[in-house]
Amino acid sequence: MDKGSLLNDRVRSNAVGFEEQRSLWSGFIRSAQRFPQRPAVVAEGKVLTYEELYELACRIAATIQRYPECSPTPLTAVFAYRSTTAFAGVLGALLAGNGYVPLNRTFPEGRTQVMFERSESRTLVVDAKSLPQLSGLLEGARERVLVMLPDMSDVAQLEARWPKHLFVGAGGLQASSSWREAAVHPDSLAYLLFTSGSTGTPKGVAVAERNVLSFLDYMVDRYEVTENDRLSQMFDMTFDLSAFDMFVAWERGACVCCPSQKELIKPDSFIKNSKLTMWFSVPSTAVFMKQLGLLKAGRYPELRVSLFCGEPLPVSSIQAWCEAAPNSIVENLYGPTELTIACTLYRWDSQRSASESEMGIAPIGYPYPGMTYLVVDEELNEVVPGGEGELLMNGPQMSLGYWRDTKKTSEAFITPPGQTEVYYRTGDRVRRPRSGGPLIHLGRIDSQIKVLGHRVELGEIEAVVRKHCGSDAVVAVGWPFTSSGYGGVEVFIEGREQGNELRDTVRSELPEYMVPRRFHFKDRLARNSNGKLDRKAISKSLEGNNE
């Protein structure tokens, strides 16, 4: 009997009826049955075949199922970073019928603690390199937590230190054969993802299985993904675009390839050495590669699909990419986390597209199937075709809202006058197309910005700085401009000069990309005629000051 049929037998006995059930994990299982020996994931230089990933994920799932008292909330946190354990943790959570909550050890510990606590998850998968930060997470945990450590053989020390919690090392994980198929409702949580929140703490976007499946079904067909594809994983799991790489690959038996830290910054050799066929990144990566002169004509002939999402995509970078990847289709995807990964797209056409672009930025294009939009003015009434306004969207990818926060949910998910459906307010300023044209992204209506593709609420940075600097007059601005967003953030404070402690304290609460590069202390900050701090005037003072 070959290994493939062994796996088939095992899957059949564990997952009776899974063929009828459509869920995020059912696609993976089908691929594992068809391609047990093909690579499913490459991370930290290690390759896991579909069979190996199935085995580890099932053991994690079976362990979660063994302790149902630890899943009063159907969520499993995955505190693992770009490792095979991270992927197995995500899949294990889903196989157990839970959604996953990605946690990131490159974030400050306090922020990760807040996310873990707010998620109310009491099951946790941890990889070897995230282990040093585990105590921070457990210190704040009031209830018993099931901690799974697939990279550790001996958990005795942890057990002695934290008798309240339950530790399971590699040897203690349940056998994969004891995994039982979990019923997955279309509204079951797929993942809970925390994004920057304007009032000072991250907010959790609750995304359902049906939201991701709607996206996924469209994507795998559109790009005709097969088992021969090799997809990049340029996004951390705390960025929802990472879900595309994993689930699109696993749905069709393809391989998801994680770059090393060095390759992340300079991905040229990663694309070549990993023999990637599908690329997905923020535009900043293409901008950067172009600046470094890496986008040489014909350099990436194996790429057949190149996708960009997360921030404005400059036309000049797209054009350079098209030359470097001459056999690839190139698309600009747009979407907030609240509308599940991406919800509009635009295929670049070398003849037509430059004339459809505005201000050197590619259009965001057309809605995904089933997604509908309105472009509205401040009173939420539709603007005329060709007019500018805020983009509202609804449809099968509209998420469930903010986790345990009905107030914020009702502010962002609204029924506009004259409509009967709920729409999500994206906060993005767009041009309403004239007949048949693409949507054009023009900027934001609020103080959310993108820093190298990361979503940043300037209000969150201001709240953290205000807490520690002793002044209420604090303004954060994006600086410097780049062709796709901002390179960083700077902060202005009304008050006396302070030392480095302020920076250190702020750094302990915010991820690195949100930490202000410079603090400017002023006797008085500019105000507008209403006496409000004038963000525009303040940010203007940085012009011509680009060091």
Which one, 330 or 364, has the nearer CB to ligand AMP? 364
Q: x/- binding map, residues 55-94, to ligand AMP, per CB under 6 A? A: ----------------------------------------
Which one, 312 or 367, has the nearer CB to ligand AMP? 312
Cβ–Cβ < 8 Å for 509, 481: no
Q: How far is CA 364 from the centre of its chain?
A: 19
Q: Which residue is nearest to ligand AMP (CB)?
A: 455
What is the footprint of ligand AMP within residues 459-488 (CB under 6 A)?
Answer: none
Question: How many whole angstroms separate alpha carbon 38 and alpha carbon 242?
Answer: 21
Which one, 290 or 450, has the nearer CB to ligand AMP? 450
CB atoms within 10 A of CB 478: 21
Residue type, 429: R
Cβ–Cβ < 8 Å for 285, 313: no
**Shortest approach of ligand AMP to residue 498 CB, angstroms?**
31
211 counts as binding ligand AMP under rule CB under 6 A: no
Q: x/- binding map, residues 230-249, to ligand AMP, per CB under 6 A? A: --------------------
DSSP label at residue 174: P
Which one, 124 or 309, has the nearer CB to ligand AMP? 309
3-state secondary structure of 166: strand
Cβ–Cβ < 8 Å for 385, 433: yes
**Shortest approach of ligand AMP to residue 37 CB, angstroms?**
35
**Shortest approach of ligand AMP to residue 339 CB, angstroms?**
9
Which one, 181 or 240, has the nearer CB to ligand AMP? 240
Question: How many whole angstroms separate alpha carbon 350 and alpha carbon 182?
Answer: 47
Give the 3-state secondary structure of 95-154: HCCCEEEEECCCCCHHHHHHHHHHHCCCEEEECHHHHHHHHHHHHCCCCCCEEEECCCCC
Tokens of 363: 């259009």
Give me the sheet containing 189-195, strands edge to edge.
Answer: 166-169, 146-149, 123-126, 75-79, 99-103, 189-195, 203-208, 401-402
Q: Contacts for 385-388 with beta carbons within 8 Å, 24 or more apart?
A: 385/432, 385/433, 385/434, 385/435, 386/431, 386/432, 386/433, 386/434, 387/431, 387/432, 388/429, 388/430, 388/431, 388/432, 388/442
Question: How many whole angstroms separate alpha carbon 58 and alpha carbon 150?
Answer: 12
**Shortest approach of ligand AMP to residue 454 CB, angstroms?**
7
Which one, 93 or 205, has the nearer CB to ligand AMP? 205
Which one, 127 or 245, has the nearer CB to ligand AMP? 245
Q: x/- binding map, residues 304-343, to ligand AMP, per CB under 6 A? A: -----xxxxx------------------x-x-xx------
**Shortest approach of ligand AMP to residue 349 CB, angstroms?**
16
202 counts as binding ligand AMP under rule CB under 6 A: no
| 318 φ/ψ angles, rounded to the nearest 5 degrees | -60, -45
CB atoms within 10 A of CB 406: 9
> What number of chain residues touch ligand AMP (CB under 6 A)?
17
Q: How far is CA 121 from the centre of its chain?
A: 19
**Shortest approach of ligand AMP to residue 316 CB, angstroms?**
15
What is the footprint of ligand AMP within residues 280-309 (CB under 6 A)?
Answer: 309
Distances (CA, A) of 329 to 278, 295, 363: 10, 16, 16
Question: How many whole angstroms separate alpha carbon 108 and alpha carbon 128?
Answer: 18
| Helical (H) or strand (E) element with 415 | none
- One residue of 25, 455, 457, 538 binding ligand AMP per CB under 6 A: 455
195 counts as binding ligand AMP under rule CB under 6 A: yes
Cβ–Cβ < 8 Å for 396, 210: yes
Which one, 124 or 515, has the nearer CB to ligand AMP? 515
Tokens of 193: 């993802």
Which one, 257 or 364, has the nearer CB to ligand AMP? 364
**Shortest approach of ligand AMP to residue 513 CB, angstroms?**
12
Which one, 64 or 207, has the nearer CB to ligand AMP? 207
What is the footprint of ligand AMP within residues 415-444 (CB under 6 A)?
Answer: 426, 428, 441, 444
Which one, 77 or 345, has the nearer CB to ligand AMP? 345
Q: x/- binding map, residues 337-366, to ligand AMP, per CB under 6 A? A: x--------------------------x--
Q: x/- binding map, residues 361-390, to ligand AMP, per CB under 6 A? A: ---x--------------------------
Using CB under 6 A as the criterion, which residues of the chain lie in contact with ligand AMP when the complex forms?
195, 309-313, 332, 334, 336-337, 364, 426, 428, 441, 444, 450, 455
